[in-house]
Amino acid sequence: MGFENILVTTSGRVGIVTLNRPKALNALNGALIAELGQALDQFEADAGIGCIVLTGSDRAFAAGADIKEMQAHTFPATYTDDFITSWERLSRCRKPVIAAVAGHALGGGCELAMMCDIILAADNARFGQPEIRLGVMPGAGGSQRLARAIGKAKTMEMCLTGRTLSAEEADRFGLVSRVVPLANLMDESMKLAETIASLSLPAVMMTKESVNRAFETTLSEGIRFERRLFQALFATADQKEGMSAFIDKREPSFENK
């Protein structure tokens, strides 16, 4: 399928989506979000893909929703068209998604990164929710996911002033899993994605589902949910293979079933 705003490639069992509106610092317009949804649909349906990497350019992961496209929006139209709901496709992805973030991840760009499961940051990455400076506020989960990731005080300061975080701060605050030199960002992201994609897909998907449940429910319900999934994995051939391989002192060969 031909895309105009993203590049879509694969490497082994890893699907890669590169946001590609360089002149607009990957500002997220409706067409880009629709294409991203189509690319994710393809990767989710492809049994040969076990992990997805979402990235941008060295200068910008994404500098936010496209302000030029949004500027003339009206409330009735944003309401009737349910503006932003299509962005949720990424957060509904069942396979793991790694955000490889370099440069600006602002507004909708920061929100897009936070919809992913792991954020790897280049040392030049900057994260922020500057919508308040435009007379609006985060609209694609920023106030919610940021608060869960780094707590109320830091989220309030960022959302109420537009202050951005350096990669080092984002690491220290727990927003990203680690910071790597810009030149190594894609290599490190691909290594991480390849590791995940080499593991049992049912176990990987259930693990993702279980961790995400921690943000949606009580501790006792979450623990019950985790236990049921754990028990369910004993129905997979991959559980037999993984444990047999350990006992036999060999590498497992998972069949994703």
- Which amino acids are annotated catalytic? 65, 108, 111, 131
**By the 8 A CB rule, do 27 and 21 touch?**
yes
Assess contact for 69 and 29: CB atoms under 8 A. Answer: yes
Residue closer to ligand CO8 by CB (options 19, 193) is: 19
Cα separation, 43 vs 32, whole angstroms: 16
Q: Which residue ranges make up the site for ligand CO8 (CB under 6 A)?
A: 24-25, 27, 63-68, 84, 104, 106-108, 130-131, 134, 138-140
State which residue, 105 or 192, has the beta carbon closest to ligand CO8: 105
Smallest distance, Å, CB 226 to ligand CO8? 32
What is the closest distance, in whole angstroms, from the C-beta atom of residue 116 to ligand CO8 in the complex? 16
Place of tokens 């999934």: 229
- Phi/psi for 97 (5° steps) reads -125, 125
Q: Provide φ and ψ at 108, rounded to 5°.
A: -60, -25
3-class DSSP assignment, residue 114:
helix
Question: What sign has the CA pseudo-torsion 235, 237, 238, 242?
Answer: positive
Give me the least distance between CB of 27 and ligand CO8, in Å please.
3
CB of 63 to ligand CO8, least distance (A): 3
- Quick one: 64 or 96, whose CB is closer to ligand CO8? 64
Which of 55, 236 has the CB closer to ligand CO8? 55
Matching residue, tokens 């960002």:
185
Distance CA 82, CA 144 (A): 19
| Least distance in angstroms from the C-beta of 179 to ligand CO8 | 19
**Nearer to ligand CO8 (CB atom), residue 104 or residue 145:** 104
Could you tell me which of 176, 224, 234 has the C-alpha nearest to residue 200?
234
Sign of CA dihedral 78, 8, 27, 109: positive
- Dihedral over alpha carbons 185, 191, 193, 199 (to 10 degrees): -170
